[in-house]
Amino acid sequence: MRVHVYGASGYAAAQLIALLARHPRAQLGAPESASHSGEPIAKHFAELRWIDRRFDGPGSVLEQIAPDDAVVLAGSHGVAKTIAPHLLERGARVVDLSGDFRLEPTPAVYGFPERYRDRIAGARLVANPGCYPTATLLATLPLARFAPVQIVVDAKSGITGAGRTPATNSLFAEVEGDVRAYGLSGHRHEPEILQQWRAAGIDASLVFTPQVVPVSRGMLVNAYAALAQPVAEEAVQAAFAQAYAGDASVRILGDGMVPSMRSVRGTNDAELHVSVHGNVVRVLCAIDNLGRGAASQAVVNLNIMHGYPVHAGSEGNAWALSW
């Protein structure tokens, strides 16, 4: 598959380019960047100096697109709705990393393979889930059979989740030595989480607290699900084991181990820890916000859309960049 990257100079896009360059069945098409047109990729990402390519200028993806090519839209929110219809008209398959197509009604298939793999396989347009919803859904969807009443989600993200556009609140001096909560009056990912809960039969209310922590990449979600009555831990553990049986990218930890952002860095992996405390189920989930929360999940969706092995090009953490 030939894969073009629109908005190719961001953090998630750079990680995607690194994965595509080593993918056994992928060829990097046009890496389009309006801000760095004509400049070497290596100039902006030292760890991609082994990729001898320059950023292509505005309009290059549309100029170079051919039927059955794939495009990953990694630009700002609001852009994908404008460009995606033109790409689809040209016969391309499209994976969007922004939030433009995640909420109903939408022409896209929601790109959460654990739930929608069959639909993704036949899709031309896939909405890649956000990093916060990805970790939250992995931690909570297996709880549907227990009818949680309320779920409290405490979520911590590395600073790359804020993107690569300079902003005062994402400067090193602003985030170092602090844990900063934000979006307390309503975060843009809450509707996405609730929509997927309702589709899975979870009618619980959500209390969501996103926080930025002083690490470059990674995400840790602590989800606390209050049930109407106590439940046996064996039953909950069995539900999670069944939900992720045969999924090599999800590890349910035991033996006193807890999820680690470091252990999933640069991968499509997720680590879970599940415990029960009376009528409260606590689930911890660690993912890489640039991997499972963006680039590597996009690769998995591309693989499914093309009929390739699901995890081709997304295994291991050898291609994790340092930020």
Query: Taking 80 as the threshold, does the pLDDT of residue 289 lie above it?
Result: yes
Identify the pLDDT of residue 320. Answer: 53
How many angstroms from the chain centroid is the CA of residue 257?
Answer: 24
Identify the pLDDT of residue 161. Answer: 84
Residues 6+ apart with CB under 8 A from 214: 159, 175, 176, 177, 178, 179
pLDDT bracket for residue 164 (50, 70, 90):
confident
Dihedral sign of CA atoms 28, 264, 312, 283 in order: negative
Q: Which of 14, 84, 131, 221 is catalytic?
A: 131
* Three-state DSSP state, 21: helix
Q: Is 285 a catalytic residue?
A: no
Identify the pLDDT of residue 316. Answer: 53
Q: Which domains occur in the chain, in start order?
A: 2-128+294-306 (3.40.50.720), 131-287 (3.30.360.10)
Judged by average pLDDT, the poorest of 148-152, 164-168, 224-228 is 164-168
Identify the pLDDT of residue 318. Answer: 45
pLDDT bracket for residue 315 (50, 70, 90):
low
The answer to whether 314 and 19 have CB atoms below 8 angstroms apart is yes
How many CB atoms lie under 10 A from the CB of residue 85? 13
pTM, to two decimals: 0.95
Q: What is the mean pLDDT of the chain?
A: 94
Backbone angles phi, psi at 95, to 5 degrees: -120, 125
Percent of the chain topping pLDDT 90: 88
Identify the pLDDT of residue 321. Answer: 59
The answer to whether 101 and 125 have CB atoms below 8 angstroms apart is yes
Q: How far is CA 143 from CA 62, 131, 136, 314, in A?
A: 43, 20, 12, 27
